[in-house]
Structure 1
Amino acid sequence: MPDVYIPEALIARHFLRDNETTVVSSNERKLLQLIWRNPSISRSEITGHTDLTQQSVHRILDQLADRNIILLGAAKPGLGRGQPSPMLRLNGSHAYACGISVNTDIIGICITDLAGGILGEREVALRELTMHQALQLVKQQVTELQRQNDLAEEDLFGIGFAIAGYHVDGTRHNAPLPLHEWSMIELGPIITDLFDRPAWVINGGKSGAIAESMFGVGRFIRHFAYLSFNYGFGGGVIIDGDLLQGGNGNAGEFSGLYDEVETDRRPALQHLIDRVSSNGVNVPSIHYMRRHFDRNWPGVSDWVEDVTPAYIRLVNAIRATLDPQAIVFGGQIPPSLASMLIERTKIFDRPRYGVHRGGPKLIVSEIASDAAAMGAAILPFRRMFY
């Protein structure tokens, strides 16, 4: 039986706690999560958000500061009498991670530091490239981003790798036909061999949901469903700020709602490209469509009308089963196209005694770049730090 790929076992020693195999303890993780969610929180304020004593909080924070994971800043004004309490923030220079997102037509690349700062983004066109050729180009782009940002190789913590397709087992995913070479193989070891760093592999829809939870509406909303409109159609679910994995690692694979007939009428952007192309509009890729989309292209309104029944049933299924505060329209969908779907939404609501049941807000994601690449970049830190 082949060895199971475990990225945590490959983390460089200098990132680990002394004489341990973990990066941070459970209590350290809790405090780092608080600092992420509450920029400029002071040391004295943190105690009120935990069940730890003030002495324990100060000791843990001092240890994190000694390891350069956090920085103690200037005293926070306006906290009343007593000794001023320093403001806390994550130390971006402690480590950085690289996110790679493989879509059917393009690979997105994003480098993020520990504090969530986006250090650089790149793209690699995937058309007519083998997997090996594409990954070599990705490696070149990452090397160039490292050079431009004067990033030390030893500070690279790990790689987050997102791919379109549902999870099978280990680091294997079953991707759409254009990515057949990437399907049903252990991707983790391949990425580790390329970068000599641990690689955390995830579905692209889930990665987009992570980006939304860290950089988008998740800063204000703790429970939401993320719809990822790409070549296919999937997504992810965030519950109380955490990604819902599900029993088989495929929670949020919303295309599973449809049978063989309905699947052609789900809101997958491959079908929209086919529709507008048959009406004489040259749209070479989904990436091109996102950048140049015109809701007045011939075929767009017809496609929206065709997918509306399946879309409406999905929205109501999400509302009934997950009860999220919001449904976010993300992935590679053009914002104006997302608005067209939202305009046609009908909620199956039967008021009782004149009282309606609450429903989710429908929100177009404001992440303008590759959300899956951003989510992949922050994934190693989410798994190991906060």
Structure 2
Amino acid sequence: MIHGYAGEFPPAFLREDGRRTATDNERVVMTLLHRTGDASRADLARATGLTAQSITRLVDPLIGRGLLVEGAPEIAGRGKPSAKLRLVADAAFAVGLSVMTDTVSLVVMDLAGTIRGRVEAPLVSVDFARANEQIASLIDHAVAEAGLNPARRIGTGVGVTGYFIGDGARLNPPAQLDPWALIPLDTMLAERLGGPVWVDNDGNVAAVGEAMLGAGRTTGDFAYLYFAAGFGGGVIAGGVPMRGSHGNAGEFASTLPESWPQPNLDNLRLYLAVHGHPYDDLHAMLAGFDPGDPLIDGWLDECAPSFNLIASVISAALDPDLIVLGGRLPPVLAERIIARIRFTNPERRGHHRPAPRITPSVIGPDAAAIGAAMLPLRAAFFG
């Protein structure tokens, strides 16, 4: 279940029964096309195990609703020419937002999964009403720049730093986002932004973004470490997010004893300030500092036990293929962290327990906004 959803789908996306955007079998077809780009009816039948007649019963209504288009038949080797089906990119789109303590990041993603627009801006105010005005304005501008029909927006996904308290979409963010704390974010955002709104924490949605455009292309099992003003993460298991009973799976910072340093970027900013390199905020630091600076070695040394414990816990408890270091973490700094991580993994009979590989994210700081944009599209059309 997606945490924190409020609102109704626009009528244009509902089926004739007025109840659903896509049936379970329609979702299977659309998910396959989302992954492959295009496929013939015969391809879909082979991939799903459904008969050709069943595929036709699924595909034709989707074409009629403008969600799929079928091209001209193509000759591919011997046999009858086949026509390729694909998703109609402009048929629907979603907006994904990542709201951080100092910055808001936004992407516009169409039905085919193409990012049609990107915006990043300093958060003008953490006041909820003022921030919503800024976000609404950013959405309007980005959608217009992308040349998309606003009526085709299926919804908005929002990733917010913090953990769920076990009561709907109420999150407990850091002190810097105090006006966003413990309120029903989904319904309150939907009132201003319009349409359905999904809310999840930034680590979960960043992991979804990585699953879509990064590590998820080669593995369905990985842990994602999200570095920003705070520190958290998400888990992808079998290709889908592992959320836990309260939506807080991947809150890796909580595995550290209270006296241990939290390896987040705001603590790095404070470390640099103590050593003569002050920055007003995290946005300024990320724009101005050199992540390869030898001065940072001291911070890395302080945080090494924390990195080692978190990586060892992930390896032992989750046994993923991969640990991905992402969020707002520069890749150069990620590589320096990776070089220092040591797993707790004693040898037995000449063998160590297989440990995950560790790699920087290839997506960059947009991962949370990308993952947030997938929330409405998955809920509406995909498996």
Name the structure 2 match of 1:196: 194
Q: 1:123 aligns with which of 120, 124, 127?
A: 120
**Letter of the 1:84 counterpart:** P
CA change 1:295–1:148 in 2 (3 A) is closer
Name the structure 1 match of 2:150: 153
- Does structure 1 residue 339 correspond to structure 2 residue 358? no
Query: Is 1:212–1:367's contact at 8 Å kept on the other side of the alignment?
Result: yes
- Does structure 1 residue 182 correspond to structure 2 residue 180? yes
Gaps of at least 5 residues in structure 2 are none
Taking structure 2 as the reference length, the TM-score comes to 0.94
CA change 1:124–1:133 in 2 (3 A) is farther
Which runs of structure 2 are paired with 1:220-235 in the superposition (5 Å)?
A: 220-235=218-233
**Letter of the 1:153 counterpart:** P
**Letter of the 1:316 counterpart:** S
Q: Shift in Å at residue 251 of structure 1?
A: 0.6
- Structure 1: distance between partners of 2:56 and 2:141: 40
**Letter of the 1:49 counterpart:** A
Query: Is 1:174–1:184's contact at 8 Å kept on the other side of the alignment?
Result: yes
CA change 1:5–1:301 in 2 (3 A) is closer
Q: Shift in Å at residue 266 of structure 1?
A: 2.4
Q: 1:362 aligns with which of 344, 358, 362?
A: 358
**Letter of the 1:116 counterpart:** G
- Structure 2: distance between partners of 1:177 and 1:375: 24
1:174-223 per-residue CA deviation (whole Å, 9 max, x = no partner) reads: 00010011110011112111122110001011110111111111122111
CA change 1:82–1:63 in 2 (3 A) is farther
Taking structure 1 as the reference length, the TM-score comes to 0.93
Q: Shift in Å at residue 51 of structure 1?
A: 3.1
- Structure 2: distance between partners of 1:305 and 1:77: 61
Gaps of at least 5 residues in structure 1 are none
| 3-state SS of paired residue (1:10) | coil
**Letter of the 2:172 counterpart:** N
Q: Shift in Å at residue 131 of structure 1?
A: 2.1
Count of matched residue positions in the alignment of Structure 1 and Structure 2: 379
| 3-state SS of paired residue (1:315) | helix
**Letter of the 2:330 counterpart:** P
- Structure 1: distance between partners of 2:63 and 2:200: 31
Q: 2:247 aligns with which of 246, 249, 256?
A: 249
Which runs of structure 2 are paired with 1:98-137 in the superposition (5 Å)?
A: 98-126=95-123, 128-137=125-134
Let me know the Cα RMSD of the aligned residues: 1.9
Q: Shift in Å at residue 149 of structure 1?
A: 2.5
Which runs of structure 2 are paired with 1:46-65 in the superposition (5 Å)?
A: 46-65=44-63
Query: Is 1:293–1:334's contact at 8 Å kept on the other side of the alignment?
Result: no
| 3-state SS of paired residue (1:142) | helix
